[in-house]
Structure 1
């Protein structure tokens, strides 16, 4: 047994080697230091163990790591209140959201297969020394990251029982921050009710790369750009509408499409000066509006154009001589309001009929034409990264429920 000791209280014995740690040594660093001392084919990694006795069934774990042909195998756990837990979790990582569901969906030899285990585990020493623990991470996320990088099924044989304190999972976002940023997480969820929202106050990814979807923070920025201009338009009693792919995404997903390229809006050309002057107020929210094309407000003139920009996005805002929303207002009829990213925006009276004029099979999905060209493409592009959480081919070409939080 090799023990990491922070307090200097553990004494060497014939079968116990002690590695003394400085108080600043992280748990990951400590584990990596200890594993370098291991000479056996397998290593038993013990965390939070209060008592180790014959119930651990270590010989059985050795047999099963070989017969099940897995890289690691653990046991069930019991805490100091004598509460028993299986400690087996299934994991799914998709669209910047990481979900853990406690339970199993496959078993063999009276053992269950897991993506993540809460308790002690026996692992092939060669694998352990290759994977290692991330010395930068805090205890919140240290083992989650380890099993993600192990990236293979782990077995739990629950007739092996370890007495230990159940792993503590903090409810504070700051405690998970290093893990969240390492994985570019937007959200972390556990089936027992804990959800960690990481927010968007960091340098989130927003590059356009074929075969990938945008991060939720990137889509949030686009939604804020669209809503910011629409809200300003409404406050000055202008007449504005969503247009093209923007209204398409709204009726399909109540949001911008996750692989969107830009935003498209319309306004009644008689409101050009009013909107241009009012747009200066949007600079406080990080939205810059400029004139991209001037034109006379006549039925035959080339449309005038405004352009709105945020940090990563651009919106084309085109003038129209006539606007359905203006006609609706002039007749004192109610606007249609469409849910959009948790808010409501004014749109045309029948948004789906409006959309069908420009698009066919509107509730089917298609990548942007800048990635795949024009014409109906029947399937998403193959992702250049294997099993990437942000790969567009994680999704099928119909339905919007799949873009909500994944289920393990």
Structure 2
């Protein structure tokens, strides 16, 4: 951009060095601003069209209360777009002598970024009305004296899931919660647990082991008559000095009264953590990372909070706990659905809860979560990796042709489909035969180095002169107990038919190796395809350009999908909340289709 501006300055009469510098800077500013505005306009039109009726601002709950059937962008993609617009905002503001028009563009970009990612909202937070405000006196935060705010007991109830807790722990938590405040406490106990040792009245609900944690919580919440609920999961002690529910209530109040607010935690061994997690669900993989990207009110915006939380009763009615789940997977599932419903979650590190032990999930816990969300792998917040088979998490590989209309093929199903190429490659090596991937399979090899996750079959060419030998593949299949068989389709086409997939085998005379320069013809071109060495057409990149046509590197759904859009776009997903939706992924590029996905900042 500097070169054209310099050229323009040479075309005008010479001025002082300062004038030249100012003109160059103005030129740079104009070019940058117009580039920014063009990008912003295009991004806005595409994004807002794609996110119609999809709630992102937690204060607009009339939209959030009805299920959205409109196409939407995934949370990850919205956040990436918002981050890009925020960077452009910074570029505009950094330009010297920004004009009034530039300031308007800067503000508009902020509004668009906030629509995409409400954690970036620039508007002034509303004053607290439910609890007294606070101010910073230069050394610490001071809660101001005020009148007109209701007693905390009129605003907040407490639900403590305490089945199996030691009686002294239960009594200690209840006494701590009731110190100075007459809160309604609903205690969930097992049938065999003794009553808590406390002078305060506590509503005790008892359930045997056949009732899930989620169902017990749901029934307990039906007894709540306040606008907010504190969920005291995992507590070992409660201290109002360190665990200020008023502080969390003030945070939610200033955001509009909706959302989830949690705090940090300290376990009995003294370890402290802020408990704020970021989460990504994509391509049958979940990543949980400890940390934050944005903050407000000295609190971290999170996708998940590991410790106890304060939330609104209305949110719990809109996003109830799953009746089928128990243990820590119940809370990971709930937080996932809270985020997808458009609510904000914050963790305030100054509010410290006392837990018995750090909340850690093992393989069993993650398997429950993975089954709930059809995931095959999880990168946990404690940096552990977990992998699950199709059968372990209830994924079936049947009817893939229907699945690819909206969704990615699961990795385990892709691996099963790759079994066909392995069979053919083993047979070809044993018989001294040649073959080449072509069309959809070759396209996947070139673009992704793997099977296209929106395809359902494989495609190879074999040399027509070798047809009789290839027809003996059926005997090979029987000896290897593959469960597959050969099918004669046409005079030129054979089909390797298996339970969940098939391979189309079309004869070509000759294969393309003869087009290579003479010194290279004795070695077939091959690629790494799903971590296998597989033969391809002589010049695979040129072959797919001719076979597929213009924009072949942009992604397009299978030609059998009805109403498929042109390359570079996906058909709107049938169920937008599903992590495997094709339209949650870019329609160009390869990194997000790796497994686990590679996400660049």
**TM-score interval, normalised by the smaller of the two chains:** 0.7 to 0.9
**Cα 1:385–1:29 shift into 2, 3 Å:** closer
Report the alpha carbon displacement of residue 345 of structure 1 after superposing the two structures with TM: 1.3
| Secondary structure of residue in 2 paired with 1:137 | coil
1:34 counterpart (216, 220, 237)? 220
Distance 2:360 2:555 in 1: 42
**1:156-305 alignment runs, 5 A limit:** 156-164=347-355, 165-170=357-362, 172=363, 174-201=364-391, 202-204=394-396, 206=400, 207-282=402-477, 284-294=481-491, 304-305=492-493
Distance 1:378 1:355 in 2: 16
Report the alpha carbon displacement of residue 185 of structure 1 after superposing the two structures with TM: 1.2
**2:271 counterpart of 1:76:** no
Question: Alignment length, in residue pairs?
Answer: 397
**1:131-142 alignment runs, 5 A limit:** 131-142=319-330
Query: 4+ runs of 1 displaced by more than 6 Å?
Result: 326-332, 372-375
8 A Cα contact 2:218 2:321, kept in partner = yes
**2:278 counterpart of 1:90:** yes
**2:514 counterpart of 1:312:** no
8 A Cα contact 2:280 2:286, kept in partner = yes
8 A Cα contact 2:228 2:312, kept in partner = yes
**Cα 1:326–1:293 shift into 2, 3 Å:** farther
**Cα 1:204–1:344 shift into 2, 3 Å:** same
**Cα 1:154–1:211 shift into 2, 3 Å:** same
1:15-34 per-residue CA deviation (whole Å, 9 max, x = no partner) reads 33322332443322332232
Report the alpha carbon displacement of residue 315 of structure 1 after superposing the two structures with TM: 2.0
Q: Structure 1: which 5+ runs fail to align?
A: 295-303
**1:120-131 alignment runs, 5 A limit:** 120-131=308-319
1:146-185 per-residue CA deviation (whole Å, 9 max, x = no partner) reads 1122232211122111011211210x2x443333222111
Q: Structure 2: which 5+ runs fail to align?
A: 1-184
Report the alpha carbon displacement of residue 191 of structure 1 after superposing the two structures with TM: 4.1
Report the alpha carbon displacement of residue 35 of structure 1 after superposing the two structures with TM: 2.1
8 A Cα contact 1:200 1:217, kept in partner = yes
| Secondary structure of residue in 1 paired with 2:278 | strand
**2:364 counterpart of 1:155:** no
Distance 2:502 2:253 in 1: 56
Determine which structure has more spread, i.e. the larger CA radius of gyration: 2
**Cα 1:56–1:373 shift into 2, 3 Å:** closer
Greater helix share, structure number: 2
2:207 counterpart residue number: 21
Distance 1:380 1:36 in 2: 42
1:382 counterpart residue number: 572
| Secondary structure of residue in 1 paired with 2:588 | coil
8 A Cα contact 2:277 2:381, kept in partner = no
Q: TM-score of the superposition, structure 1-length normalised?
A: 0.88
Distance 2:288 2:213 in 1: 22
Greater shift in the superposed pair: 242-251 or 135-144:
135-144
Greater strand share, structure number: 1
| Secondary structure of residue in 1 paired with 2:472 | helix
Report the alpha carbon displacement of residue 367 of structure 1 after superposing the two structures with TM: 2.5
**Cα 1:97–1:193 shift into 2, 3 Å:** same
Greater shift in the superposed pair: 140-149 or 350-359:
350-359
2:23 counterpart residue number: none
8 A Cα contact 1:241 1:346, kept in partner = yes
2:70 counterpart residue number: none
| Secondary structure of residue in 2 paired with 1:319 | strand
**2:555 counterpart of 1:353:** no
**Cα 1:185–1:374 shift into 2, 3 Å:** closer
Distance 1:281 1:9 in 2: 67
8 A Cα contact 1:49 1:163, kept in partner = yes
Distance 2:564 2:358 in 1: 55
1:4 counterpart residue number: 188
8 A Cα contact 2:301 2:346, kept in partner = yes
**Cα 1:42–1:139 shift into 2, 3 Å:** same
2:592 counterpart residue number: 402
2:306 counterpart residue number: 118
